[in-house]
Structure 1
């Protein structure tokens, strides 16, 4: 049992339970976890404000050791990195008092796609027989899952046989596979390859209903990164192509496909779009609501759903025994999702985060 000196009772707080908001109640922060015993606790009157689980951004690119603090300041207490040097991310895993990081490590890309110019030969797969050593290398350096960058046929990504081989090797090691797929053709390839997650969403063109049906039937999960896609269409001077992205997300949601909030936040040089760490997650929630998700569903896309699908079993909801990753906000996000921006306090594993 934690000493009462490490116990805080948040009184008069309304709790988001994944569906609705509770009546004013008390939530106990007992060391690093959510507790039940408020005996001897320091008491804080929350004044009827609202308590959310700490946010999970399901697509970022860690820049350096300062990245977690930038994320945590906006209530993002867990972030899933989608390509980062292993040495950079290693000390950032399983941290408290800031944003906890998981990572794909080095991505796997095709020989002629755009990403091959950034990542170099170590990332490039030329044939299926390279899948086993490439996946093994990433596993040995701590990758929590595998990132596979797919392109439409003819656009320089891995060929279909190589993509399937990567998925097979990853699954043999109990590693999930996240496929970058930003076009309709890449989505088809991702589904054919058997990946677990698809990240990004096509703009300008609608996903075929047959692919949407397969994604739903085969229990795929999609991380649309609408924030990035919106910014990219503006950068390219074709903002009129962005509504198709919203329509694609709406169609996936209607079909019952799980959707996770991810932003592609990064500070990479040579990349034209750099969504801001932390702040962009709130914009992503707003775009998900524009795509037809209810505010509660959007909140789940940034809390309980990524915790479930990435097997982060110690977080994602305000439940006794789970990590005390918490965000206290002013205003009702179920009435107006922009209320998530009005942050009063953040806790990471029970430790107050400086803002």
Structure 2
């Protein structure tokens, strides 16, 4: 029989606030409605959250997944990884954060991504015909979603027709499309193509009202990765990049009612302009989202329920019977002070407590 763990006297984050103190049952790998406890954890004065989901990470090895788990991030959405055997190995890791992956992203021939050492040649896309073939390869690879890098114009980026073809083909296969966009021009390309999610926020100017309106009307979602944008702007201030542009764009997104997810672009790669640390950076991101105008509850929802809904992760993101037992127990009330997510008492992944 599976072990039954009870977290007793704990308030539970619902996505909109906290419950009164109650008992939460974990039976095996899932949340249960009731049970005979084998182990009781005292949750008095504490808050239980669904395991946090980082909507934008990059993984280079198990240590990255361990660091995510240590900080209560139980799921990470990887936005670029190769080769396929490595992706399969990372997906198969147990006792650490679980990942999904875009596998290889689509990039233009002249951008920085195409010049990365070891970047797969089949990720460089120049025509609509190549775009369709690219998506077919990613589907065959088992990509959970499609990632593209948009630039304002060729030769650094793909032209509008090519980006459109990627999005259209991905949607034909039932995959959502995530677009890396760090300038206002790149945002307009992504919006014009009808991508589902924009990741990052512009550093060259605050995004204009018309583009924000088009995003809202299309139901686009944003994962702005303010942690990364702040780091890049600091490293490249001489180039005129300003973090305030990204922050104020997020404020506009929030005021417009655009869905905002919490993501960091955490990575451990050498030679990058900035490398947010896996796990802890998500707590930084929650704070930056609050500074951009989100309430603590809205920020927490963007790291739990909204991300699970956006990416179709129906087995997680909320605490209710039948859901996967990915849990974060904290001391304090993060719905009034979001920094309380750092006061970690316990983390469970798929019902197994992380030590």
Under a length normalisation based on structure 2, what TM-score does the superposition of the two structures give? 0.96
Equivalent residue number for residue 137 of structure 1:
137
Equivalent residue number for residue 341 of structure 2:
340
Equivalent residue number for residue 72 of structure 2:
75
Q: Is 158-167 or 14-23 further displaced after alignment?
A: 14-23
Equivalent residue number for residue 262 of structure 2:
261
Equivalent residue number for residue 114 of structure 1:
112
Equivalent residue number for residue 29 of structure 2:
32
Alignment pair present for 1:228 and 2:238: no
Deviation at 1:182, TM superposition (A): 0.5
Q: What whole-Å deviation, never above 9, does each CA across 1:68-112 have from its counterpart, x for those lacking one?
A: 111111000000000001222213336553201000000100011
Equivalent residue number for residue 312 of structure 1:
313
Q: Is 11-20 or 181-190 further displaced after alignment?
A: 11-20
Alignment pair present for 1:324 and 2:325: yes
SS in 2 for 1:78: strand
Equivalent residue number for residue 210 of structure 2:
210
CA–CA distance in structure 1, aligned partners of residues 92 and 33 of structure 2: 24
CA–CA distance in structure 2, aligned partners of residues 40 and 247 of structure 1: 49
Moved runs in structure 1, 4+ residues, more than 6 A? none
Equivalent residue number for residue 58 of structure 1:
55
CA–CA distance in structure 2, aligned partners of residues 335 and 194 of structure 1: 36
Deviation at 1:64, TM superposition (A): 1.4
CA–CA distance in structure 1, aligned partners of residues 308 and 74 of structure 2: 12
Q: What whole-Å deviation, never above 9, does each CA across 1:106-147 have from its counterpart, x for those lacking one?
A: 010001111110125321111111112211111111111111
Contact 2:203 2:241 survives alignment (8 Å):
no
SS in 2 for 1:66: helix
Alignment pair present for 1:125 and 2:122: no
Equivalent residue number for residue 276 of structure 1:
277
Q: What whole-Å deviation, never above 9, does each CA across 1:37-74 have from its counterpart, x for those lacking one?
A: 13244222122211011000000011113321111110
CA–CA distance in structure 1, aligned partners of residues 172 and 278 of structure 2: 33
Contact 1:89 1:101 survives alignment (8 Å):
no
CA–CA distance in structure 2, aligned partners of residues 161 and 89 of structure 1: 30
RMSD: 1.5
CA–CA distance in structure 2, aligned partners of residues 34 and 179 of structure 1: 34
Contact 2:52 2:73 survives alignment (8 Å):
yes
**Of residues 33, 46, 49 in structure 1, which corresponds to 2:46?**
49
Deviation at 1:21, TM superposition (A): 1.4
Distance change >3 Å, CA 155–CA 258, structure 1 → 2: farther
Equivalent residue number for residue 245 of structure 1:
246
CA–CA distance in structure 1, aligned partners of residues 262 and 86 of structure 2: 24
Under a length normalisation based on structure 1, what TM-score does the superposition of the two structures give? 0.96
Gaps of 5+ in 2: none
CA–CA distance in structure 2, aligned partners of residues 28 and 40 of structure 1: 8
Deviation at 1:237, TM superposition (A): 3.0
Q: How many residues of Structure 1 are paired with residues of Structure 2 in the alignment?
A: 351
Equivalent residue number for residue 16 of structure 1:
13
Equivalent residue number for residue 160 of structure 1:
160
CA–CA distance in structure 1, aligned partners of residues 144 and 339 of structure 2: 32
Deviation at 1:248, TM superposition (A): 0.4
SS in 2 for 1:333: coil
Q: Is 154-163 or 311-320 further displaced after alignment?
A: 154-163
SS in 1 for 2:260: coil
SS in 2 for 1:334: coil
Contact 1:97 1:350 survives alignment (8 Å):
no
